[in-house]
Amino acid sequence: MSTLAPSTIDLASRLDRQAPAVEVRDLRKTFKRRDRKGGRFARKRPWPALDDVTFTIARGECVTILGQNGSGKSTLVRLLSTLLISDGGEARVFGHDVDREASTIRRLVNRVSVEASFFKKMSASENLSYAARFYGMTPRQTRTAVPEILGRVGFPPERRNEAMENLSRGMQQKVALARALLTSPVLLLLDEPTTGLDPRSKLEVQEFIREVRTEHDATILLCTHDMAEAEALSDRVGILDRGRLLFLEPVVDVKRRFGVETLEQAFFAATGREFEAEENDDDEYREVFG
């Protein structure tokens, strides 16, 4: 990619090549929540969003964490992007501790979340330029880099200067992808990037993720509840269930391990529950806090 942010160029060249892209050991995060049935004055009780999660992602790998709403996927992504502080365990990105070396991590990581969050009155170009400044990209650099990256995600050039509030959700999500890639992260965290998109936009985004992986030396952690997407994009797939990572293996190994043909069946075999059936009060709370 020709539009690397200066801070990333410098750091990327000095990364520890031997260290895994992501190394997570016994990671824990607990939120406190009030028991809904106990009313307003009920005591808060601890609610584990991540429970001793351990895994490693090699450099250049694309790994998918599958899980239902409230399983802890977003908490994991937020911990890796320095937006949350863990309660225990350890998480490292290219050998750097996410809690103690947050400023280093921030130059290496970027993220696309389920909501494409932007200043709605500002245009796609303005929002991207604003984000790029934080990574040291000057107006002269963004003048060429922004149209280039928007072109790569298939964003129509004539809508570049239109306010974000006038764009469809699919369009906004493409701009969100462009924002993440503009800063050339070496670790890309994708938190349900295609949720709510129409089938065509979904395919375009997935195609772009593949392209990023092959053309750019990026490691990808994809969190989703879309089994087909996980199977299509990843080297390994893991299931995060109620804060616990049940396994993280290549799809064929998962199917072989449980003697099943689909990931849905594997989920059922691993948890004893249907994948889509999990929508109770507890999960709603997990979603709120996770």
Pick between residue 112 and residue 248 the one whose CB is nearest to other proteins.
Answer: 112
CB within 8 Å of 211: residues ≥ 6 apart: 152
Is the Cβ of residue 183 or residue 234 nearer to other proteins in the bound state?
183
Q: How far is the CB of 109 from other proteins (least distance, A)?
A: 7
Between 36 and 75, how does the x/- string for binding to other proteins read (CB under 8 A)? --------------------------------------xx
* Orientation angle between helical segments 263-271 and 251-258, nearest 10 degrees: 50
For residue 236, how many C-alpha atoms fall within 13 Å in the half-sphere facing its CB?
Answer: 16
Q: Where does this chain touch other proteins (CB under 8 A) — which range of 18-26, 100-108, 154-162, 262-270? A: 100-108
Any contact of residue 216 with other proteins (CB under 8 A)?
no
How many CA atoms lie less than 13 Å away from 260 in the CB half-sphere? 14
Segment 149 to 178, residues that bind other proteins, using CB under 8 A:
163
Q: Minimum distance between the CB of residue 84 and other proteins, rounded to whole angstroms? A: 5
Residue that has been written with the tokens 């998962």 in this structure: 254
Q: Residue for token digits 């190394």?
A: 23
3-state percent breakdown (helix, strand, coil) of the chain, nearest 5: 40, 25, 35
- Pick one of 92, 111, 202, 236: the residue that binds other proteins (CB under 8 A): 111
Contacting other proteins (CB under 8 A), which of 129, 184, 219, 224?
A: 129
Number of residues that bind other proteins (CB under 8 A): 44
Nearest distance from C-beta of residue 157 to other proteins, angstroms: 20
CA 222-226-229 angle, to 5 degrees, is: 65
- Answer whether 156's CB lies under 8 Å from 11's CB: no
**Which residues lie below 8 Å from residue 151, measured CB to CB, with a gap of 6+?**
157
**Shortest approach of other proteins to residue 103 CB, angstroms?**
6
Query: What is the C-alpha to C-alpha distance for residues 194 and 200, in angstroms, rounded to an integer?
Result: 10
In the set 45, 121, 256, 257, which binds other proteins (CB under 8 A)? 121
Q: How many CA atoms lie within 13 A of 216 on its CB side?
A: 24
CA dist list (Å): 17 to 14, 191, 234: 8, 26, 22
Q: Which of residues 261-290 bind other proteins (CB under 8 A)?
A: 287-290
Q: Specify the stretch interacting with other proteins by CB under 8 A; choose among 57-65, 127-135, 249-257, 273-281.
A: 127-135
- The least distance separating other proteins from the CB of residue 287, rounded to whole angstroms, comes to 7
Interface residues toward other proteins, by CB under 8 A: 6-7, 10, 31-32, 74-75, 78, 81-85, 103, 106-107, 109-111, 113, 115, 117-122, 126, 129-138, 163, 179, 287-290
